[in-house]
A and B are shown apart, each in its own frame.
Chain A
Amino acid sequence: MNNLIFKHRFLIARRITQVTIMFLYFAANAWGFNFLMGNLSSSKILNTIPLSDPYAVLQMLAAGAVLSADVLGGVFIIILFYMFFGGRAFCSYVCPVNMITDLSNYIRRKFGFNKIQKRQPASRNIRYYVLALSLIISFIMGYAAFEFISPVAMIQRGIIFGLGFGWAAILIIFLFDLFVLKNGWCGHICPIGGFYSLIGRFSFIRVHHNHENCTACMKCKEVCPESQVLFMITKDSLPVTSGECTNCGRCVEVCDDEALNFSIKNYKRK
């Protein structure tokens, strides 16, 4: 039992933070428990500290909105936080869509769907194209373009304010990830993840690979939602430097040989 918890310690931590954050938002709306007001687009902690989604604000800027100091302060806090500590931790520790895509991925692994199709037919760079396209459309249309179609926004707002047809967005992402493309939404398309990838390359806390301990069992690659960032497995002792790593820690958990661990990024050049 203890071992089971230890083998899922980051997964448990992630689920707890994801659910707690959503619950706090929900509580603020439903019962006026104002510890964390708003939602993932923009919120306030204890009615004082502002937080804002930098990608949404970037679109608004492109659309030509005049922004208040409150919002810019919130963006600053979020960017600094993820730049230093998180990488794409937003995706693995905060975003509720992560639970849906993780479920798809879990079923894929259990039923062996991954074995049928080894090579994924889509580029992981699509998210950067979507990111660029969203800014261009925002600029041309004069509205924050992705915010009007974002299933992430639909789902998280749905949890807090009532779902409406938001369940359709959940179903679509679930089925897309399950049958069409492995890690399809989070790993290929979502521009929010793309945005945090760009910030995340600076973050301090990184996964480190110790080549000497590795027994090439490939469990980490199997479980990693962004397996391209683990290119050094079996080859070299390197930290994961790519911003696309979500710092979810699944690879660290599944490794039976202590070959992977979190560490502080070393900025000194060798």
Chain B
Amino acid sequence: MNTKKDQKMNRREFFLNGARALGLTALGGLVWSAYVDEVTASSLLLRPPGALDEKEFLKSCIKCGMCVEACPYDTLKLAKPGDNKPLGTPYFVPRDIPCYMCPDIPCVPVCPTDALDEKKVTKNNKLDIKEASMGVAVIDQSSCIAFWGIQCDACYRACPLLGEAITIEYTKNERTGKHAFLKPVVHTDVCTGCGLCEKACVTKKAAIFVLPKEVALGKAGDYYIKGWDKKDEQRLQKATNKINKTKISERKAVDSLNDLGGILDE
């Protein structure tokens, strides 16, 4: 009788303990995964050259810091607790120390997990830092003094791809009638996002600054074609947008333009 009762209690205890453990695990798992989601969501980080796309990068970076050690300029840092960045992953802040674009890219080959992928910075079987795509420089025209008409070409001069990634556009200053604007223009397809321009910028807070490409750049989609650029039409071959047929699009574009019927009828 007694043993039977004990068994019953044991079973009860077993289920109770199991439920307790399950509850604790679920709670812990929820908090934990929410935290991981939060810390990995930061999208304004600049990664070393050759870094995989952010999601893949976070997946494969083992946080060993060997890229940090390899960098001769102390550009790269590992995110510390309190930095509010994915813990232990490498990043750099151009206004402090930009990437000096070493031709041999010491930070990339040391990566044991290929989170910094040599393939991404290789051209014609040679490491080429110009292939790096760490970010892209963006100019705030309202605070850039060159756009005010004050002569400044600090970013242009600092750019390691001088005349390629940043060019100077001359325009007339209509207000004075006898001065010129020397406006910097960033060419987003060439810019590697090294941040030397941001470092060199003379304004109090840099008027040219590097953002991750996926943050800074728009995307036109493959339904817009530069009609004057014959090569541009080749983009259509890889078009991913589906054709969306509506009643209007059944007719040819020219017909639609010439047909005034719709307007006149009403």
Contacts and interface: CB of A to CB of B under 8 A. Distances in A.
Given A148-B36, A162-B80, A169-B81, A142 B55 contact: yes
Contacts of B87: 147-149, 153-154
A166 B124 CA distance: 44
B29 A39 contact: no
B37 A166 contact: no
B62 A71 contact: yes
Given A148-B40, A148-B86, A161-B80, A129 B60 contact: no
A22 B68 CA distance: 16
Nearest to B35: A149
Nearest to B83: A164
B33 interface: yes
A68 B68 CA distance: 19
A65 interface: yes
A46 to B, nearest CB: 13
Nearest to A50: B112
A64 B59 contact: yes
A38 B36 contact: no
Given A29-B69, A37-B66, A38-B69, A137 B29 contact: yes
A65 B111 CA distance: 14
B64 A42 contact: yes
Given A133-B32, A153-B88, A161 B62 contact: no
B21 interface: yes
B88 A60 contact: no
Contacts of A148: 35-36, 39-40, 86-88
Interface size on B, as a range, is 35 or more
Nearest to B17: A123
Size category of the binding interface on chain A? 35 or more
Interface in A22-48: 28-29, 32, 34, 37-39, 41-44
A6 to B, nearest CB: 38
A157 B29 CA distance: 25
Given A70-B112, A148-B39, A157 B78 contact: yes
Interface string A52-63: 110011001001
Contact of A60 (B32, B37, B39, B60): B60
Nearest to A57: B62
Contacts of A133: 25, 28-29, 32
Contacts of B64: 38-39, 41-43
Contacts of B131: none
Contacts of B81: 154, 158, 164-166, 168-169
A38 B40 contact: no
B3 to A, nearest CB: 26
A67 interface: yes
B82 interface: yes
A71 B35 CA distance: 27
A107 interface: no
A36 to B, nearest CB: 11
Nearest to B67: A38
11 contacts: A41-B64, A42-B66, A60-B62, A68-B112, A71-B62, A141-B37, A143-B59, A148-B88, A149-B35, A157-B80, A161-B80
Interface of A: 28-29, 32, 34, 37-39, 41-44, 50, 52-53, 56-57, 60, 63-68, 70-71, 74, 129-130, 133, 136-137, 140-145, 147-149, 153-154, 157-158, 160-166, 168-169
Interface of B: 21, 25, 28-29, 32-33, 35-37, 39-40, 55-56, 58-60, 62-66, 68-69, 77-78, 80-83, 86-88, 110, 112-114
Sort A-B residue pairs by CB-CB distance and give the 6 closest, nearest first: A164-B80, A165-B82, A42-B64, A165-B81, A38-B64, A65-B60
Given A63-B59, A66-B60, A161-B78, 4 more contacts: A37-B110, A133-B32, A142-B59, A161-B80
